[in-house]
Amino acid sequence: MIQLAVLDMAGTTVADDGLVERAFTAAIGAQGIESGSPEYDRMLDHVRATMGESKITVFRALLTDEEAAQQANKAFETAYGALVDDGHCAPIEGAEDAIRQLRDAGIKVCLTTGFAQTTQQRILSALGWRELADLTLCPAQAGRGRPYPDMVLKAVLDLKADAVANVAVVGDTAYDMTTGIAAGAGIVAGVLTGAHGKDQFQAAGATHVLPSVRDLPGLLLS
């Protein structure tokens, strides 16, 4: 029996619509790397391949200097937050209803992200979701971000699930699948509303592939 659903935000419950790439362009531009240059294209390919991973980890991989990585990460969070504040933030259709259905059925819900906590809270505020889930987590609150299992395991402890096998992990990237598998989740489901597709999910060990998070109650409550 699933007692806890750990759901990703951007691309899974929150529409991305290119916001990550727009914020990345602003952040990397502050490091003197112009959009359209070969170096920019190489870095953007890495960002797309690692969607779902903690953003500071991504910048550390792209910029070998720690100070530059921290500056780029701060610029990214600032740019993304500004896009949210400007109204460029919307839920995935049916996501809120799906979360409410799960909670009404007694399944606790944790929303997770690879963003910083301040950015996560801005997204939740913009959507009116601050009270929607039982718990919200970012990498800094758990220890490490995806692909490590830390956020899932912290949710298990904080929300008192009986076992990791009673957890469903849901996301739009292969990193979400890797996280769920590493945590020992009973269900690890990919949704086709974000960065990655069925082949990538299955290669990463997904137990299920769903069109959208709105289909999750049908899976967990059937």
Q: Which residues contact 199 (CB under 8 A, 6 or more apart)?
A: none
Contacts with 178 (C-beta within 8 Å, 6 or more apart), sequence order: 146, 147, 204, 205
**28 pLDDT band (50/70/90 cuts)?**
confident
- Helix (H), strand (E) at residue 136: strand 135-137
What is the DSSP annotation of 67-93? HHHHHHHHHHHHHHHHHHHTT--EEPT
What confidence tier does 98 reach under pLDDT thresholds 50, 70, 90?
A: very high
Average pLDDT of the chain is 92
What tokens appear for 97 in the block? 């209803």
Return the pLDDT at 76: 87
Q: Is the pLDDT of residue 22 over 90?
A: no
**Of 69, 141, 74, nearest in space to 110 by CA:** 141
Instruction: Give pTM, 2 decimals.
Output: 0.88
pLDDT at 201 over 90: yes
Reduce the DSSP state of residue 203 to 3 states and report it: helix
DSSP-derived secondary structure letter, 106:
T
pLDDT reported for residue 182: 97
pLDDT in tens, 124-174: 999 999 999 999 999 999 999 889 999 999 999 999 999 999 999 999 999
